[in-house]
Amino acid sequence: MTGVALVFPGQGSQSVGMGRTVAVASAAAAAVFSRADDAVGEPLSRLAWEGPADQLDRTENAQPALLATSVAMLEALRERWGDEAPRPAFAAGHSMGQYSALVAAGVLRLEDGVRLVRERGRRMQASGSGRDGAMAAIIGLDEARLPELVDEASRAGVFGVANRNAPGQVVVSGERRAIEAGTEIARRLGARRAIVLPVSVAAHSPLMAEAAAGLRAVLDDVAFADPDPPLLANADARRLTTGAACRNELIEHLTAGVDWVAAVRAMLAEGVSTFVEVGPGRVLTGLVKRIAPDATAVAVDDPAEPEGLAVPVHAVTTAT
């Protein structure tokens, strides 16, 4: 087993222009975007590269565009790595990034992954109809106070921890009235910042139950292979080593939280020392550095590079 993990970002990492420079420089990346366009029957690549931003940011567009960009970057990396390509110990995705990880690990075909995340986005947008959903970022709150926050805020409605991103950084999700109450409670409990986010869905909460039920029926018609390398479940970082387990993960993680801290620590415990973020931006790179300051974390997205892609050959080969 090597000391390298490939990690894939979720919604929020998208930006207009993502992946265009890589697609121009890499035939392998260009082919990924072409296949993704064909899979959804429209120029998804043009939306990723040219926007407009308000359309790209729509959940049903952002998710397939992110998956296509992440996989395009991965294929460009593999093209450039050649014989030096590492054999990763894990592929791990944050929220929607799980789909990118599943494609990377050979569980899903690219075309199925793109179509599934588009359907996921549509069902998330429609789920919880009549119950105004919201999410908020809570920064600087002592983790020991989280149960108290959840208990108090839940008195106002559905409320729970959606993402445990790093020590002292969580995202909460649920009914808007409970989320707004929760931000006030969090500040009282000592949080440095508590900010309601500009989203219209309560991801990773019970309000996504309708989306999970609908997606279950869709996933029944999709082929799932066993992953290579293994993945980690978003909610509790357990190993996912079979196609059946991966299928269940995609249903369960709609209503359960994402514990990225547990995932990173689980990979560290298995000997991972280098985390390579494959996708637009460097959100996960920053989170990994906060969770594991002694680990190496590198992002492949680098606009300063002529091809828009950093190829961390040295970092990953020395970690094997």
For residue 122, is pLDDT > 80?
A: yes
- The answer to whether residue 204 is catalytic is yes
> Which of these, 237, 152, 198, lies nearest to 57 by C-alpha position?
198
Read off the CATH number of the domain in which 313 is found: 3.40.366.10
- Whether residue 228 is found in the same domain as residue 87: yes
CB count within 10 Å of CB 141 equals: 22
Section 213-242 average pLDDT: 95
| Same domain assignment for residues 244 and 146 | no
Instruction: Indicate whether 25 and 44 sit together in one domain.
Output: yes
The identity of residue 253, as a single letter, is H
Question: What pLDDT sits at residue 200?
Answer: 77
- Give the global pTM: 0.93
Please write the tens of the pLDDT for every residue from 38-97.
999 999 999 999 999 999 988 889 999 999 999 999 999 998 888 777 889 999 999 999
Examine the fold and report which residue of 141, 166, 200 is the final residue of a domain before the chain moves on: 200
- Mean pLDDT (whole number) for 198-223: 91
Domain span at residue 165 reads 133-200
Place of tokens 């799980």: 98
One domain for residues 171 and 24: no
The active-site residue, picked from 13, 26, 127, 204, is: 204
What's the number of domains the chain is made of?
Answer: 2
Residue 116 shares a structural domain with residue 212: yes
Confirm if 231 and 92 have CB atoms less than 8 A apart.
Answer: yes
Q: Average pLDDT for residues 134-163, to the nearest whole number?
A: 97
Q: What number is the average pLDDT over the span 204-208? A: 94
Q: Integer distance in angstroms from the first to the last C-alpha of the chain?
A: 8
Establish whether 253 is a catalytic residue: no
Q: Are 275 and 5 in contact (CB under 8 A)?
A: yes
What confidence score (pLDDT) does residue 160 get? Answer: 96
Q: Domain boundary at 158, 182, 200, which?
A: 200
Residues with Cβ within 8 Å of residue 289, at least 6 apart in sequence: 295, 297
Residue 155 belongs to a domain with what CATH number? Answer: 3.30.70.250
**Residue entry with tokens 């020991």:** 144
232 and 139 in a common domain: no
pLDDT of residue 201: 86
Strand partners, 174: 134, 159
User: Among 60-74, 120-134, 141-155, where is mean pLDDT lowest?
Assistant: 120-134
Per-residue pLDDT at 312:
59
What is the model's pLDDT at position 85? 79
Residue closest to 8 by CA, chosen among 78, 84, 72, 81 = 72
Same-domain check for residues 12 and 96? yes
Q: Which of 13, 26, 70, 95 is catalytic?
A: 95
Give the β-pairing of 4-8 and 90-93: parallel
Interval 249-288: pLDDT, tens: 999 999 999 999 999 999 999 999 999 999 999 999 999 9
